[in-house]
Structure 1
Amino acid sequence: MNIWIVNHYAIPPSMGGLVRHYYFSKYLQKKGHTVKIFTSSKIHNTDINMIKDKSLYREEMEDGVEYTFVRSRDYKGNGMDRVINMMDLPFKTWKAMKLFYKKQKPDVIYTSSPDLFVAFFALRFGRKYKIPVVVEVRDLWPESIVEYNKISRKNPIIQILYQLEKWIYKKADQLIFTMEGGKEYICDKGWDKVVDLNKVNHVNNGVDLEEFEENYEKYQIEDKDLMDKSKFNVVYVGSVRQVNNLATLIDAAKELKPYRNVQILIYGDGTERAALEEKCRKFQLNVKFKGRVEKKYIPYILKKSDLNVINVRPAALNKYGCSWNKLFEYMASGKPILCNLPVKYDLIRKYNLGVTKRFSDSEAYKDAILGFVKMKKEDYEMYCHNSLECSKKFDYQMLSDKVESILKKALS
């Protein structure tokens, strides 16, 4: 198959990106397929723009995968510049796709949301040129906007976005949800009368185990705190934003203050970092903020930890399941996982990878951490074994087989 992947935020791994489609491209190519990724020239969460002139697009081989960066507006944060970027990019992507279509028609288009606008235009392009389109849903827009930003569902713009979302689900040849409850979400919206549930598929995020092990061996970070064997290292890797709710972890650190052998290491950056760091300094907590690190160092960090933490703000969306990218890297590290938010279709509980629990207060969170510190060796090693074995079920090489079969269904 000649496959076009259209994703606003398909950032190459070397740029610290959202790598799901890089790995699918990598393994689909190994199966003999041709893959081209169309994405924004503005690299999300960085100051990088791959196009500095007025060119419509720029082709680059990044980490063995062919990327077509489409010129898009610079922005920072979530202000008006980003909104314009989201509205403008689909038109330019259409123009770029039309030029490449004249050279060689794709067999199938695989587009991923968010953003809904790029998915809409990719679907319109496919219908115009009679190309089957697979639409992937990685985040439930606009539902997540409503949940996390407290915007009314009756807001006219939100209502328009819901109608756009429903149209996309209805017209797609196949649908992929990264969360397991995709069919349930469609039914809850009352859209199952117009959306064929037989075309709804589920493919989790995952981890490239081969690359994970290679990076662990090749890229080791010098960090005296991480290597301090006199400490029990609780590690969090990821964004430090409101949605990650790390204030609850810092409150637990206050309760852990008498236990000087326990330290919390936070690798990541975001809008909440400065305030949380100030709080830790004020209370002299045993918490170290390490800042953002390159993805290639993550395997080493996670394997050297004693406990890996997922911290998330509760939301009604959790009833449809979650597929956090970090969860699968946590699995591959072979260390226990502690999560502050039970969700439906919970992999941590299903495969017994650690503890997932909504804590009533900071003392309960502290007790959960201490439970791992004081755990019997055989129980601790059971969690380690389960995590490592479970990661094999979510190796991107295996998940690519599922994606390949879905693309073939769209073709048929």
Structure 2
Amino acid sequence: MHILFLTDNFPPEVNAPASRTFEHCREWVKAGHRVTVITCAPNFPKGKVFDGYRNRLFARETIEGIEVVRVWSYITANEGFLRRTLDYVSFMVAAVPASFRVDRPDVVVATSPQFFTACAGWLVGALRRRPFVFELRDLWPESIRAVGAMKASALLDALERLELFLYRRATAIVSVTHAFRDNLIARGIDGAKIHVVTNGADLDRFQPRDKDAALMSTLGLQGKFIAGYIGTHGLAHALETLLEAAGLLQEQGRDDIHMLFLGDGARKAELVERAQRSGLRNVTFLDTVPKEDVVRYWSILDASVIHLRRSALFETVIPSKLFETMAMGVPVLHGVKGESARIVEAEKAGLTFEPENAAALSDRLVQLADDRSATAGFSANGRSGAQNYDRRHLAARMLDLLAACRRPKTAGAIERPVASG
């Protein structure tokens, strides 16, 4: 089977969509299938093309057996609604003609969070007469409302109509949460074609390891209880709550607890400035590191803080870093209500706290720092629970769904040769 996958995030980018897509595609190649990914030049989240790449009209490379086609797009930092929309639309426009420069696929998959990529997937599927599968990672544009990036308007209403059109036209929808599936059914989408394949972790990469003593020495964090936030510093994450908690701990004289931030995003500079203005001595900010180095930073954490804004929408999401945290055996401090909090509680992998409640977070940090037997239990439980979210098994489940969508080619049909890049 030849799978054509459209995504605007792919390695060497290290965000959640890039990791999920790459790890699934890698497993499909291992299973003997051909996978072609159409994406853009790696630039997330700073909006700067990574070293070794250029923002060209068309380029090819192969990554672990995956055929990768990179197209030109308007590149901007992960901030500003209009500029990001131009980024999304430009990728959509470039991806469609690029799809005719690869062999005809058996199935076309396109992934959100934003659905202009899904628009391209639907159009490619229609033009090439192949089934279109919508991988639903986020309820966009509803998430725009949730973070206040754009006020209610006729434009948002039009985007939601387009969203529903794509759901209806998709041969199948692969949702990353059960809550997303329930949302779509409530809005009139046929539940029979909506399948849930949650996020997970690459258990070969993310597994318990000894603390990286050299890294702790470099950062000057020996002897500290280290609580880390690893991921995008965006509008949805309300990371000022973590800074407020750090301030409360500093006031309490808990110098043994240190907050580590690793990543980039639209609010990174603002957060750094706020920490400096507040005189926080118990906070360290670090820039994004290559994917292969991330586990070094996971290894030094005594707790992983996962946080999103207090919003009904975010009660439907499951942050992908939850599964990496569990796989690494790092206790979770989970400031997200809903489906993901129920996973933490069911697996006994850590403690939950109310989103945007700095006092509750600081209390939880003190609780974990003062009870190392509890942290050891959460660590062991997380490692055990992560086995239920092994990326290999999840990729195999999604592959079965794609195979079920596949249409046999018309007997005797001959395709025109395609141009090579």
Same-fold status (TM-score > 0.5): yes
Question: Do 2:5 and 2:35's aligned partners in 1 also have CA atoms closer than 8 Å?
Answer: yes
Structure 1 pair 107–270 and aligned structure 2 pair: CA distance change class (3 A): closer
Aligned twin of 2:398? 403
Structure 1 pair 410–376 and aligned structure 2 pair: CA distance change class (3 A): same
Structure 1 pair 174–371 and aligned structure 2 pair: CA distance change class (3 A): same
Q: CA deviation at 1:51?
A: 4.0
Aligned pair partner of 1:343 in 338, 361, 368 = 338
Structure 1 pair 144–225 and aligned structure 2 pair: CA distance change class (3 A): same
Q: CA deviation at 1:220?
A: 8.6
Aligned pair partner of 2:263 in 260, 268, 275 = 268
The CA distance in 1 between the partners of 2:274 and 2:94, in whole Å, is 45
Aligned twin of 1:65? 66
Structure 1 pair 202–383 and aligned structure 2 pair: CA distance change class (3 A): same
Aligned twin of 1:196? 190
TM normalised by structure 1 equals 0.88
Aligned twin of 1:242? 235
Question: Do 1:74 and 1:85's aligned partners in 2 also have CA atoms closer than 8 Å?
Answer: yes
> Where do 4+ consecutive residues of structure 1 move more than 6 Å?
none
The CA distance in 2 between the partners of 1:315 and 1:6, in whole Å, is 29
The letter for the 1-side match of 2:190 is D
Structure 1 pair 126–360 and aligned structure 2 pair: CA distance change class (3 A): closer
Q: CA deviation at 1:44?
A: 2.6
The CA distance in 2 between the partners of 1:171 and 1:158, in whole Å, is 20
Q: Summarize deviations over 1:18-54 as a string: whole Å, max 9, x none.
A: 221111111011111110101123533241174455x
The letter for the 2-side match of 1:199 is K
Aligned twin of 1:106? 105
Contiguous gaps of at least 5 residues in structure 2: 408-421
Structure 1 pair 334–115 and aligned structure 2 pair: CA distance change class (3 A): same
The letter for the 2-side match of 1:31 is A
The letter for the 1-side match of 2:347 is Y
The CA distance in 2 between the partners of 1:52 and 1:363, in whole Å, is 45
Report whether the alignment pairs 1:386 with 2:385: no
Q: How does 1:281-320 map to 2 (within 5 A)?
A: 281=276, 282-320=278-316
The CA distance in 1 between the partners of 2:299 and 2:228, in whole Å, is 10
Indicate the percent of aligned positions where both proteins have the same amino acid.
24
Q: CA deviation at 1:124?
A: 2.4
Question: Do 2:96 and 2:124's aligned partners in 1 also have CA atoms closer than 8 Å?
Answer: yes
SS of 1:121's equivalent in the other structure is: helix
Q: CA deviation at 1:149?
A: 1.8
Over aligned residue pairs, what C-alpha RMSD do you find?
2.4
Contiguous gaps of at least 5 residues in structure 1: none
The letter for the 1-side match of 2:92 is P
Q: CA deviation at 1:76?
A: 3.0
Which shows bigger deviation, 75-84 or 297-306? 75-84
The letter for the 2-side match of 1:252 is A
The letter for the 2-side match of 1:291 is D
Q: Summarize deviations over 1:289-310 as a string: whole Å, max 9, x none.
A: 2232222222121122111111
Report whether the alignment pairs 1:25 with 2:25: yes
SS of 1:105's equivalent in the other structure is: coil
Aligned pair partner of 1:231 in 224, 241, 251 = 224
Aligned twin of 1:369? 365
Q: Summarize deviations over 1:351-404 as a string: whole Å, max 9, x none.
A: 111011206843332111111112251x32221111111222212111111111
SS of 2:388's equivalent in the other structure is: helix
SS of 1:222's equivalent in the other structure is: helix
Structure 1 pair 227–254 and aligned structure 2 pair: CA distance change class (3 A): closer
* Equivalenced residues, count: 396
The CA distance in 1 between the partners of 2:67 and 2:270, in whole Å, is 40
The letter for the 2-side match of 1:20 is R
Q: CA deviation at 1:252?
A: 1.3
The CA distance in 2 between the partners of 1:21 and 1:296, in whole Å, is 16
Q: CA deviation at 1:228?
A: 4.1
Question: Do 1:226 and 1:233's aligned partners in 2 also have CA atoms closer than 8 Å?
Answer: no
